[in-house]
Amino acid sequence: MAIGFDFGTSNCSVAQIINNQVHAIPLTQDELYIPSTICAPSREYISEYIYRCFNISPSDIAGENLLRRAISVNKDDGLEIHPDEVFFGQEALDLYLDDPKHVYYVKSPKSFLGIIGLKETQLAFFEDLVCAMMANIKQKAENHLKTEITETVIGRPVNFHGRKGEESNRQALNILRKAASRAGFKQIEFQFEPVAAGLDFEATLTTDKHVLVVDIGGGTTDCSMIQMGPRWHGKFERSDTLLGHTGRRTGGNDLDIFITFRKFMPEFGFGSQQLSGLPVPIPQFWNCIAINDVEAQRQFYTAENLRQIKQLYKNAEHPEKLNRLIHVHQETLGHGLVREAEKAKIALAGKNTHSATLNIGDESLIIPLTPEAITTAIEEPVNKIKRLIKEVLTQSGVKPDVIYVTGGSARSPILREAIKSVLPETEIVSGNYFGSVTAGLARWADISFRQ
C-alpha cells in the first residue's frame, strides 16, 4: 500500500488515494497533522528508544557507535527505556513548555539535515531523530488503516537548509531515505513539495494553464512555474511541464524568529550599550532564538557563553535587561519566545492589536504589537520571498495565468500582499493551506506505484 508523506518543518501528515479521491489519514484521534517535534528525557534516550521499542537497528557503523554510546550513557544515568517516555507532536511541545530545563526537545529536525561539516555521529543522530518520528507516524497510520504501509512518496523542498547547494540537498535526502527505510518503508520516492501542491490544484482545473505555485512552509519557500490542466492530469512523465523552479530556506519559522528578534529582544538588551559605550554583541540575541540553526543554539547554550553573558550583565547600562537574557540561557527559553511570536503573528492576521506575554523568571513582560509592527519586523524575509518569485518568472520566461499559494504561512495577509505586489494583475487562489502538499504526494504515490 502507498501513501503520500509530508515530513514537514512545522507539521507532518500522510494521505492515500481511494477510488481516485484523496483520503487524509488521522494520526492522533481525529487530528490529521502532528507537529514536527520530539521530546525525551535526554538526547541519548532517543537512539536507544528506537532500538528497544521499535526494534530498529542502526543503518551503518556510525549509527552502531552512536547506539553503543547511548546505551552506556543511559545506563550510567540510571535510565531504563520505556515507550511512554518519548513524546511527539503537541504532547512533546506541551511537556517542553512545562519543564524546558529537564527534557531534551527538538523542533523541526528537517531544518538541520542539510548542514554540511557535521561529524558522522551527528548525522547518525539526525537520522535517528527522523527515523523515530517517521516510525511513530507510520505505526499510527497502519493502526488506523489496519494494514501495512510499504510504499511512500516523501515531499522535499527545492533546497534544504544548508549553505552547500546540491551537496546539502544530497545529504538531507540521504538521511530521509535511510530513516524511512529503517522505519519500514520498502519503496521510497521523493517529489518536490511545490509540484505536489500543484498536482492537487491541477485536479480542479478544467482548462490548461500556466500556474505559479508558491509554497511557504515552516522552513522553506519554494516557487514553481508549472503547465497544468486536463492535458497532463494523471501522467507520470511530465518533466517538460516544469518551466521554472526556485527555493530557499526562508519560511514561517524565519518570520517568527525575526518578530522575536526585532520586537522582543530589545527587552533583553538588544540595541543597548555597555558602560564602555560599545554595543552588546548582536549574536547573543540572535543565537538564543535561532531555533532552526543547530550551531547557533549550541553556541548560545554553552557554559562559556553563560559566563560571557554574566560579564556583559556586570558592564551593561541596563543590567536588568541582560538579567533576562541570563534567564533565557538558564531556563532554555528560546523556543518559548519564538512560540509567543508565532502566536502573535497568527493573532494579528485577524485583528489590529495583540499583547504578547513573556514569562521570564518571576517577571511577566507585556509587549503590545500591531500588524504594522509585524510587517516591519519581517521585512527582510518577505523581500527574500519576493525575490524568489521574480527569479522563477525569469527562469520560465512566462507570466502565470494564476498563482496558487499554499503552506501554513501563506495564510498571512502580509505575505499575500507581498506576492500581489510582484504580480498585481494575476489572480491568487488557495486550497488547503496545510493539506495540499500531502494530497499531491498521495496522488503522485498513486501514479508512481501503479507504473
Q: What is the DSSP code string of 370-399? A: -HHHHHHHTHHHHHHHHHHHHHHHHHH-S-
Same-domain check for residues 223 and 152: no
Q: Please check whether residues 178 and 213 belong to one and the same domain.
A: no
Nearest-CA neighbor of 14 among 118, 181, 133, 165? 133
Q: Are residues 293 and 168 in the same domain?
A: no
On whether residue 201 sits in a domain, the answer given is no
Per DSSP, 351 falls in state S
88 touches 65 (CB < 8 A): no
324 is a domain residue: yes
Q: What are the backbone angles phi and psi of residue 385, rounded to the nearest 5°?
A: -65, -40
Angle among Cα 434, 437, 438 to the nearest 5 degrees reads 85
What pLDDT score does 298 carry?
A: 87
Place of cell 502532528: 34
Length of the chain: 451
Verify that 154 and 249 share a domain, yes or no: no
Q: Per the structure block, which three cell numbers stand in for 4? A: 503520500
Q: Which residue has the cell 538521511?
A: 175
Q: Is residue 436 part of a domain?
A: no
Any domain includes 443: no
CATH code, domain with 403? 3.30.420.40
Q: Which of 225, 236, 152 is nearest to 195 (CA)?
A: 225
CA atoms within 13 A on the CB side of 125: 17
- The closest alpha carbon to 431, from 394, 402, 406, belongs to 406
The answer to whether residues 339 and 381 belong to one domain is yes
**224: closest CA among 245, 243, 202, 249?**
245
Within 10 angstroms of residue 109's Cβ, the number of other Cβ atoms is: 23
CA distance 184 to 135: 7
Contact 369, 130 (CB under 8 A): no
Note whether 180 and 217 are same-domain residues: no
Q: Which residues are paired to 39 by β-bridges?
A: 87, 105
Contact between residue 254 and residue 377 where contact means Cβ atoms under 8 Å apart: no
Which helix (H) or strand (E) element contains residue 213? strand 209-216
Is 199 a domain residue? Answer: no
Structural domain contains residue 13: yes
Answer yes or no: is 288 within a domain: yes
Give the count of domains, the chain.
Answer: 2
pLDDT in tens, the chain (451 residues): 899 999 998 899 999 999 989 999 999 877 899 999 999 999 999 999 999 999 999 999 999 999 999 999 999 999 999 999 999 999 998 998 888 888 999 988 998 899 888 899 999 999 999 999 999 999 999 999 999 999 999 999 988 876 678 999 999 999 999 999 999 999 999 999 999 999 889 988 999 999 999 999 888 899 999 999 999 887 887 778 999 999 888 888 899 999 999 999 999 999 999 999 999 999 999 999 998 887 899 899 999 999 999 999 999 999 999 999 999 999 999 999 999 999 999 899 888 999 999 999 899 999 999 999 999 999 999 999 999 999 999 999 999 999 999 988 888 888 999 999 999 999 999 988 889 999 999 999 999 997 5
Q: β-strands 221-228, 151-156: how paired?
A: unpaired
- Non-local CB neighbours of 87 within 8 Å, separated by 6+ positions: 38, 39, 40, 95
Grid cell for residue 361 = 523568571
* Domain assignment of residue 118, given as a range: 2-185
220 and 104 share one domain: no
Domain assignment present for 197 = no
Residue 135 sits in the same domain as residue 36:
yes
User: Are 165 and 230 contained in the same domain?
Assistant: no
Query: Both 64 and 167 in a single domain?
Result: yes
pLDDT for res 58: 96
pLDDT at site 434:
85
